[in-house]
Amino acid sequence: MLKTVWTVMATGMLAVGIAGCGGGSSLSEDYCKKLDSCNALSGTSVSQCTEDVNKSLDTMTSSQRSDFEKAAKVCLDMANCTNFLICDNNL
């Protein structure tokens, strides 16, 4: 996935349209937490991953961000780490 834009700029989701609706965590934070739970952050914290992902997303056009968001949500819906990481690698 941008060969793990998630695994830190090569972990590299949205803060601005996704940080979203009132409390709760953002899609980027949820994604980084899932990477962490799958032991895929390679020494990076969830906080740093989230910051890196948000910075990356800030460089995308609205259309690119929307497409990336949709794809990331599909990955997050994967039930196990193996499938999630395969999905992540294909982003």
Q: Would you say residue 21 lies in a domain? A: yes
Q: Would you say residue 52 lies in a domain? A: yes
Q: Would you say residue 5 lies in a domain? A: no
Q: Would you say residue 64 lies in a domain? A: yes
Q: Would you say residue 10 lies in a domain? A: no
Residue with tokens 């949820």: 30
Count of the separate structural domains present in the chain: 1
pLDDT of residue 15: 32
DSSP code for 4: T
pLDDT of residue 24: 62
pLDDT category of residue 91 using cuts at 50, 70 and 90: confident
pLDDT of residue 17: 34
Q: Would you say residue 2 lies in a domain? A: no
Judge if pTM exceeds 0.85: no
Amino acid at 6: W
**Residue 18: CB partners within 8 Å, gap ≥ 6?**
26, 27, 28, 57, 69
| Residue 56, domain extent | 16-89
